[in-house]
Structure 1
């Protein structure tokens, strides 16, 4: 006797062909909606162009018409993750939307983004993570060059490393802010996985030099001490530059990431050589315009205080009184006066928030110079 309940259940399960047809139908709907969004983006571009021309005609600064709004994109990505109910993980869906927004923004105005190059650096990977693949990347040889390209208007935005969870702050980036008019517009956090790489076919005994950015060498110091103790290590301007050198010289091995390995057609001699598994680098997005509040922001300032007892305490007290989280404080020597220091401070909130305004006013009373480096959305991805 046949169990009718089992046969009925089997009949309800769609066939593989039917499931594929359903996927094709859903893909067509997704495609149509993406194109509808792109058309809307084009209309936004038209509206901004009209506003741009009106600003010029009225004698106003046309640069006030912003084509890229970091706070708006951060809000969209947060909403994507908040409303996501699976089965895809929220960040995975947000990355998809990141690329859709990137492509649609390129229809409005393709953006030039400077980053610490050459091709294959972690800074390039951070730029792609933040802006998507539709921007026009412009590799630069130094952090100073990234600042210069944005200041001159050659590039719309720049991406620079600022701190690593293992090795601390990137001092060149902090120093560049002291005399720059640029603002911090956003931040990116990137998990750093390091490989030791060389030309295909290179034997271990052929390697005479290991090259990388000084931060990458420091982040893999213990591993290199253990496995390659007698091989010379040379710091170069970037991991991408190190990979480029390895591609040209079989006696050179490079410490870099997968992007550099693929860019220069190298093979991995060892993978995952970073000393700490949670090795993460934070990057800053720099631009010429201030950023509006996104609802979940950070603010960065540089402060030079009077040289007197209690100066640092007086800087910190306003945060305690207002209940505002101070997320980072670092010092750098002032270049204008011997034994005077600049405090770089980062805290939660936007400069337009009432409590932040109060903190800024109190710090201004205690300092010789206070410089607002930017208020910007916290990293959404």
Structure 2
């Protein structure tokens, strides 16, 4: 065995050992989270117990970023811990999170970024329905768009906060990346129309004017709906995000 192969074998064995340690530590953390749930329920018999504490999660993630030794970036380390926290919280009680749908929207991406992938995300067709879902108790939290860096405030959301008893308890900043997409089965077809949400058209106006001038732009309710239509129609494209 060459020195290189021997060293690679040593490193892989070390990674396997570290993986075992990580798995044991995550399991220990999950067991501790379960014990927290048992203590809370014992202290509040017959009452609704709030397992998720956004201020506590923010405190933990802030500490993780500050104490991160590298080489992983602080944001990436925080993302990993958020998923661990999400999975541990789901052991206590899975949360239902209402968001402005349909599936695949940037609002869903924001919900998963904030709560992790171990929640039950519930798409709602309109912003006011997200509010109603939380107000009725059918969802624990709701995620709605508030501000767009290029198009400004989302007035419908602000109007709902004026009339709703709900309060903002967290903020998610999401970097938006748009893609012009066509279905693989229609990739050789000439693009004759583009579907997207009106805000995405506004954000991409300069690029579209330069590269796709004269092509019909059709506004739909969401970028996810745009992607669905483009996947079924020859000659159609969509502006949408990765999800």
Q: Specify the TM-score bucket, using the shorter chain as the normaliser.
A: over 0.9
- Of residues 58, 66, 71 in structure 2, which corresponds to 1:74? 58
Q: Does 1:152 align with 2:144?
A: no
- Number of residue pairs the alignment of both structures matches: 241
| Deviations 1:231-255 (CA, angstroms, capped at 9, x unpaired) | 2222222111111121222243211
Q: Distance in 2 between matches of 1:213 and 1:52?
A: 46
Question: Any unmatched runs of 5+ in structure 2?
Answer: none
Secondary structure of 1:73 counterpart: helix
Q: TM-score, normalised by structure 1?
A: 0.60
Q: Distance in 1 between matches of 2:205 and 2:29?
A: 48
- Of residues 50, 62, 68 in structure 1, which corresponds to 2:42? 50
Q: Does 1:38 align with 2:22?
A: no
Q: Is the 8 A contact 2:145 2:157 kept in 1?
A: yes
Secondary structure of 2:234 counterpart: coil
| Deviation, structure 1 residue 227 | 1.9
Q: Which structure ranks higher in relative contact order (CA pairs < 8 Å, sequence separation ≥ 6)? A: 1
Q: 1:19 to 1:135 in 2, by over 3 A?
A: same
| Deviation, structure 1 residue 205 | 5.8
Q: Distance in 2 between matches of 1:250 and 1:67?
A: 49
Structure with a larger share of its residues in helix:
2
Q: Distance in 2 between matches of 1:235 and 1:148?
A: 26
Question: Any unmatched runs of 5+ in structure 1?
Answer: 1-10, 57-61, 260-381
Q: Is the 8 A contact 1:116 1:238 kept in 2?
A: no
Structure with a larger share of its residues in strand:
1
Decide which structure has the larger Cα Rg and report it.
1
Q: TM-score, normalised by structure 2?
A: 0.93
Q: Distance in 2 between matches of 1:88 and 1:206?
A: 43
What is the match of residue 104 of structure 2? 120
Q: Does 1:168 align with 2:152?
A: yes
Q: How does 1:180-259 map to 2 (within 5 A)?
A: 180-202=164-186, 206-259=190-243
**Greater mean alpha carbon deviation, residues 206-215 or residues 110-119:** 206-215
| Deviations 1:322-364 (CA, angstroms, capped at 9, x unpaired) | xxxxxxxxxxxxxxxxxxxxxxxxxxxxxxxxxxxxxxxxxxx
Q: 1:92 to 1:130 in 2, by over 3 A?
A: same
Q: How does 1:1-381 map to 2 (within 5 A)?
A: 15-53=7-45, 56=46, 62-63=47-48, 65-202=49-186, 206-259=190-243
CA RMSD of aligned residues (A): 1.9
Q: 1:105 to 1:200 in 2, by over 3 A?
A: same
